Chains A and B, each alone.
Chain A
Amino acid sequence: MTAEMDPATDGAMSYVYAVGRAGTPVETALAGRQGLEGTPLRTVRAGDLVALVSSVPSASYGAEGVQAQMEDLGRLEVLARTHHAVVEAAYEHATVLPMRLATVYLGDGRVREMLGEREPEFSALLARLEGHVELGVKVYADPREAVAVSSREAEADTTDRPGRAYLQRRRAQQQNHRATYRAAGAVAAGVSDRVAGIAEAHVTHRPQQGELTEAAGENIVNDAYLVHGTRAGAFRAALAGLGDDVPGVRVEITGPWAPYSFATPPEAGGGEPR
C-alpha cells in the first residue's frame, strides 16, 4: 500500500462520481475514459464497494476552488455535464449510486475509509436501485397559450363598445389565468394515478424558474419517479397524451436518468417517496 496522497505536496484530490459494487462491470467499463480536467478515471475499492474517481487539482477543487466554480455558470456547466457523463456511462454497464456534485476527498485513502464506513447504507441503496431508472415529469401552465385559444373563440363577441370590450377582455384574462393554473394542477394530480403500479417511488423537486428554464409557461410541478428499467416505456405510455386536450397546459417527460433523486438515504430527506 502506498502512502496516502498529500494535497500539500502532490496537489491532487480524489473526485468521486459514483459508487458501485465490486465485481460488476463498473470496475472495468470506464477504463481509458477521462473525467474532469481530462485525467483518467479509476476505481478505488474497499470491501464489496468500488468508487469511480479521478484526480483533480486541489487548487480548483478545494473548498474555495469549488465555490469559485459554482459561481461561474460556464464552469458549473462543465462540472455538471462531465460528472453526469461519467455517471451515465457507468450506468450503462452497472447500477451505481450517483454522488452529489462536487464530492471531493483529500485522496484515495479517504475514499476507501468512506466506503468502509458507509458500506451497509450504500449496499442497501444499491440493492434498492438495482436495474432502476429515474424519469422526470414536469407540468407547465401557460395562460398566454390558453388566451390565444380562447380569444380566437371569443372574437365574434367584440362589439362596437370598446370600453366594455376592454373590461370583458381583462376579466376574461384573469379568469383564464386562474383557470389555466387550476387545469394544470388537475393534470398534475392525474400523473400519480396514471403511473400507479409502474413507478415505485416519487420525489418532488422545486419547480424550475428563471433563465435556465427555456420552456414556455410556468413550471408548476417538477417530479422524479423511480421506475424499473424495463418499465420506462410503460411509464411514458401511461402518460402519453396527458394534458394534450387542455389549452395552456403541457406535460414534459425527461429521462431515463441514473436514479440521482433516489440516491439519498431516507434519513437524509428528499429521497423518499411521498
Chain B
Amino acid sequence: MALVDLLDRLLNGGAVLTGDLVLSIAEVDLVHINLRAVIRSITSDEPSPW
C-alpha cells in the first residue's frame, strides 16, 4: 500500500496516549509537528490551485 495513505492514518489517526508517556504531551506534539515537517520537506512547492 502507498506510504502516504499509511502515514495519514498513523500520524493523524490511532489512539493518542497522553498519560504516562516517555514523551511529555508537548514533546509528543513536537514529534508530530516534525513528522508533518518531514512530509512537507519532501513535497514540491507547487501551490494548491485553489
Given contacts A212-B42, A212-B43, contact A104 B12 (CB under 8 A): no
Q: Which 4 pairs of residues, A with B, have the shortest CB-CB distance?
A: A210-B43, A100-B14, A260-B13, A260-B9
**Chain A proximity of B13: nearest CB distance (Å):** 3
Give bound CA distance, A98 to B17, whole Å: 11
Give bound CA distance, A204 to B31, whole Å: 22
Give bound CA distance, A102 to B30, whole Å: 12
Instruction: List residues of chain B with CB within 8 A of the CB of A177.
Output: 49
Please determine whether A261 and B23 come into contact, CB atoms closer than 8 angstroms: no
How does the 8 Å CB contact mask read for A78-122 relative to B, with 1 for contact and 0 for none? 001101100000000000011111111110001001100110001
Q: List 30 interface pairs A-B (beta carbons < 8 Å), by A numbering.
A: A70-B35, A70-B38, A71-B34, A80-B6, A80-B7, A100-B13, A100-B15, A101-B10, A110-B20, A110-B22, A114-B21, A117-B20, A136-B5, A177-B49, A181-B49, A205-B8, A206-B8, A208-B4, A208-B5, A209-B44, A209-B48, A210-B44, A212-B3, A212-B39, A224-B13, A254-B2, A259-B13, A260-B14, A262-B13, A270-B13
Find B50's partner among A62, A106, A181 (CB 8 Å cutoff): A181
Find A211's partner among B6, B17, B19, B42 (CB 8 Å cutoff): B42
Answer yes or no: A46 CB below 8 A from chain B CBs: no
List residues of A (40-95) whose CB comes within 8 Å of B's CBs.
61-63, 66-67, 70-71, 73, 76-77, 80-81, 83-84
How does the 8 Å CB contact mask read for A247-274 relative to B, with 1 for contact and 0 for none? 0000000100101111111001011000
Instruction: List residues of chain A with CB within 8 A of the CB of B11.
Output: 100-101
Please determine whether A102 and B31 come into contact, CB atoms closer than 8 angstroms: yes
**Chain B proximity of A49: nearest CB distance (Å):** 12
Answer yes or no: A27 CB below 8 A from chain B CBs: no
Please determine whether A114 and B9 come into contact, CB atoms closer than 8 angstroms: no
Give bound CA distance, A213 to B40, whole Å: 12
Give bound CA distance, A102 to B35, whole Å: 11
Instruction: List residues of chain A with CB within 8 A of the CB of B12.
Output: 205-206, 261, 270
Find B13's partner among A62, A117, A263 (CB 8 Å cutoff): A263
Question: Could you list which residues of chain B lie within 8 angstroms of chain A, going by C-beta atoms?
Answer: 1-17, 19-23, 27, 30-31, 34-35, 38-40, 42-44, 48-50
Find B15's partner among A99, A181, A209 (CB 8 Å cutoff): A99
Instruction: List residues of chain A with CB within 8 A of the CB of B34.
Output: 67, 70-71
List residues of A (191-208) whose CB comes within 8 Å of B's CBs.
203, 205-208
How does the 8 Å CB contact mask read for A207-245 relative to B, with 1 for contact and 0 for none? 111111110001000101000000000000000000000
Please determine whether A214 and B31 come into contact, CB atoms closer than 8 angstroms: no
Instruction: List residues of chain B with CB within 8 A of the CB of A73.
Output: 38, 42
Instruction: List residues of chain A with CB within 8 A of the CB of B49.
Output: 177, 181, 218
Please determine whether A99 and B5 come into contact, CB atoms closer than 8 angstroms: no
Give bound CA distance, A83 to B8, whole Å: 14
Instruction: List residues of chain A with CB within 8 A of the CB of B7.
Output: 76, 80, 212
Instruction: List residues of chain B with CB within 8 A of the CB of A206.
Output: 8, 12
Instruction: List residues of chain A with CB within 8 A of the CB of B38.
Output: 70-71, 73, 76
